[in-house]
Chains A and B, each alone.
Chain A
């Protein structure tokens, strides 16, 4: 093919340009799927429960990731402030992951369990009532009812990209094996609505037990962030063997 034919044919030029650029991307990304240890071997990571997943969707909807990262890097200052650096395994069921790229607010990768549910709720409704110097906006509308009748469709969509929510007995049994019965029950897609209700009622997420609010879901999600791995079980140096 003569170079001139590429230069004077814009469609061909576009196709070949895309081809060349995608090679650049593919050689960087594809090997990661084949390299053992890209996702570390670690116990405790499980998909989000239906309520947590809805909370995650609220998190994405409100654009929390624009100001909050979920990615603790392996630096001393980050360890001292936020805790153990984030593992690839910890985002394996995140679609899309919420690593973020900017910290206007603090990193949230390990915020789970750091504050009480009441604090989370009050802080989301009106941050300055607790932290006067905060510049975070208020999210009072999160106290509105949560729409959860479509949770099963959401779970099916996530299943399509690899999250092991189960649709049959064999998948359920595999989940029981991997995550334990209590969680496996929540990962049954046809059980989605019931498990949202059950988890919302299981504890006082937002101080309003009368209805299931968006706050319930968001607080449930925030409280599980970064809490799945028990790092005391792993020796210093264990995770660097995967790199």
Chain B
């Protein structure tokens, strides 16, 4: 800009603007460190444009010279993965321009934690459930992985520790996995099957069949199966005949049937309604009557879309252990 007329040697330049007759603005040069920093960002930008995706043109963009490599399946002409004779997918190294999705595939395949996990997964791949549980190292691995998976996928219903939710409302109750009363069976293979395919539990409503006194008598009988204090023996005996309807699923003596997920009624463990939490026998009767009256629908989603078979296997080891022997 221009020199002010009074500018003398050693004085700082001004911008030449004058306000209110005598107000001027200094025109100091930018500090050198700042200026070089500014040039640095320009150089950085140019290097970035060369290395990474940057400039759009037509219907695409400059991809840059930086690359990322990862393993991808070999594809046939139709774009389907080529499978070897033993069913494994043939893999090849694929190199792409730098992009976050390719980096992600690379991370999934080669990050230290991914490699460590793969190593352990390979170790347990051909082991039986019993073998995994018997070896302290593999059990540790199954527990570590199972615990994380359980937190992400199971804990919302079954509780962070697998304790489930037992409330007075059957709709808001979820089975406890830490007792050893397995509703659908506690074998490893059964647990895997249930996690893979999900469960649809359905007890029909019997409200139309049992009403009033008949319903109460049946509830008395159900409570007598687990020797609840305060049960009226006479009423329970009257209700025994009605239990024949229930016996189809719960067994002649109420011992339950894991094949169809009918809980054992003779233990003091309640899975879907908090009978033990009701302080009086009347309260307990009411809860049991409610279940008989309305039936029970419970659904566990399938996890085959969310978890790999290996993850489900390890999760089964973890879950099986929660329930003790």
Which A positions have Cβ atoms within 8 angstroms of B? 31-32, 34-37, 74-76, 79-81, 83, 85, 113-119, 122-123, 129-131, 133, 204, 207, 235-237, 239-241, 243
In the complex, the answer to whether A130 meets B172 with C-beta atoms within 8 Å is yes
Give how many B residues have a beta carbon under 8 Å from the other chain's beta carbons.
47
Which one of B59, B75, B99, B160 contacts A35 once the chains associate, using CB atoms below 8 Å?
B59
Is chain A's interface secondary structure helix, strand, loop, or mixed overall? Answer: loop
Distance in Å: Cβ of A239 to nearest Cβ of chain B: 6
Would you call B221 an interface residue if the criterion is a C-beta within 8 Å of the partner chain's C-beta atoms?
Answer: no
Contact B156 A76, beta carbon cutoff 8 Å: no
11 contacts between A and B (CB under 8 A): A35-B59, A37-B60, A80-B152, A116-B299, A117-B299, A130-B165, A235-B75, A235-B79, A236-B72, A240-B99, A240-B101
Residues of A within 8 A of B103 (CB): 74
Residues on A with beta carbons closer than 8 Å to the beta carbon of B59: 34-36
C-alpha spacing A80/B311, complex, angstroms: 10
Q: Is the interface of B mostly helix, strand, loop or mixed?
A: mixed
Please, which residues of chain A bring their CB within 8 A of the CB of B323?
Answer: none
Q: Which residue of B107, B174, B300, B305 is within 8 Å of A130 (Cβ)?
A: B174
Q: In the bound complex, do residue A36 and residue B104 qualify as a contact, i.e. CB atoms below 8 Å apart?
A: no
Bound complex: CA A74 to CA B305 (Å): 18
Q: Which residue of A lies closest to B75 (CB)?
A: A235
Known: A31-B56, A83-B306, A130-B156. 6 other contacts (CB 8 A): A76-B107, A80-B152, A115-B301, A118-B171, A131-B156, A240-B99
Within 8 A of A (CB), among B277-325: 297-301, 305-306
Q: Which residue of A lies closest to B94 (CB)?
A: A237
The answer to whether A115 and B56 touch across the interface, beta carbons within 8 angstroms, is no
Knowing A81-B152, A122-B172, A131-B156, say if A116 contacts B300 (CB, 8 Å). yes
CB distance from A192 to the nearest CB of B (A): 29
Chain B residue nearest to A227 (CB atoms) is B305
Contact B104 A114 (CB under 8 A): no
Nearest Cβ distance between residue B83 and chain A, in whole angstroms?
Answer: 12
Q: A35-B60, A130-B156 are in contact. Are A236 and B73 (CB under 8 A)?
A: yes
Contact between B60 and A79 (Cβ–Cβ < 8 Å)? no
Q: Report the stretch among B108-116, B211-219, B233-241, B263-271 that lies at the interface.
A: B108-116
> Contacts A34-B58, A129-B165: A115 and B81 contacting too (C-beta < 8 A)?
no
Q: Is the CB of B157 within 8 A of A115?
A: yes
Instruction: Tell me whether A119 and B156 are in contact (CB under 8 A).
Output: yes
Residue ID in chain B nearest A27 by CB atoms: B56
Given A36-B60, A113-B301, verify A236-B105 contact (CB < 8 Å): yes
